[in-house]
Amino acid sequence: NHWVNIYLQKSFDNGLSWTAPVELISKENSTIGQKYWRFVNPEMIKLQNGWVLMSFIGNGNPESNENCHVMVMLSKDNGETWDDPRIIGRGRTWEPMVVQLPNGELELLVASEAAWWQQGVYLAQEILCSRSTDNGETWSAFERAAYSPDRRDGMPVAVALQGNKGILFAIETVDDQGFGSPSLVHRPLNGEWDTNPWNGISTNKRWKVNINGHGGAPYIVQLSTGEIVLVAHTGGRNGIWQTGFPRVAIGNSAGLMFGSPVTPLTRLPENEGAYYNSLFVKDEETIWLLTTHVTFENDVRKKSEIKYLEGKIVK
């Protein structure tokens, strides 16, 4: 029963201890949940006005483009209470994430396979975007933000670059056919996304980041000193992709000139993995790498837990 309901835990002592999980949305215990068979990919952002916005996906039952939804929930009291889920888009989609621009506008990026879902063709995937100018109350129709023909672009994670230098987001490409994964996509604040099909050749609008192996589920943050930190997981061992592990690379304030990637977890047994990593800048001196740590027996998952590894920011 992984990937079924969404839970929230809090820490009041800088992560040393955590509250018991509180159910935010459930397919069993809510009226809206009865229309879905699972809720997945929760991601939170604290907005400039103090609200907390959570974006996530509701997979319909049965699954169709009509009843699979991109959804958001808002909390106006630091996550103590939440309003009802809002459907802001339809279609078979994954991994929504919201970034806030300096002017307060919100942009939600999401991976979508809706155009190919149940069409009897290769299940490609593109990145779509929607925008809100009222702190997530209402949203625009989805439009394309990135596309690689006959490939699966997914798991977008974005930052608004310091100094009004635009928006940058990372993409995983499955079935990359040599293109390389991950890649970074950029647009200026006063421009639009380049929606032309990408041919895998790096340009000033989209370029590759080398992590010495397939880079799955990339996540990026920007430090106060400007550097972009990227993490992505490797492809796995013994035919089980979940036995991959994270690699971290550091680039400049434009997301370029990344140094050689490092491997923070170097002694995982072959039947263990650490994937779906994310990064959290805790303070001026501390960064967290959060990971899903799993143990397998053959191809059966025996254990799954969330862990974090603390790193120090060296100026």
The pLDDT tens digits of the residues spanning 176-235 come to: 888 889 999 999 999 999 999 999 999 999 999 999 888 999 999 999 999 999 999 998
d(CA 93, CA 154): 9
Please say if the pLDDT value at position 1 is more than 70. no
Of 1-5, 110-114, 208-212, the least confident: 1-5
159 neighbors 221 (Cβ within 8 angstroms): yes
pLDDT at 197: 95
The pLDDT tens digits of the residues spanning 136-186 come to: 999 999 999 999 999 999 999 999 999 999 999 999 998 888 888 999 999
Mean pLDDT of 243-259: 96
Give me the percent of the chain exceeding a pLDDT of 90. 82
pLDDT at 2: 59
Mean pLDDT of 31-38: 85
Buried b (16+ CB within 10 A) or exposed e, 95-132: bbbbbbbeeeebbbbbbbbbbbbeeeeeebbbbbbbeb
The pLDDT tens digits of the residues spanning 283-300 come to: 999 999 999 999 998 888
φ and ψ of 146, to 5 deg: -160, 150
273 neighbors 236 (Cβ within 8 angstroms): yes
d(CA 35, CA 61): 6
d(CA 87, CA 181): 31
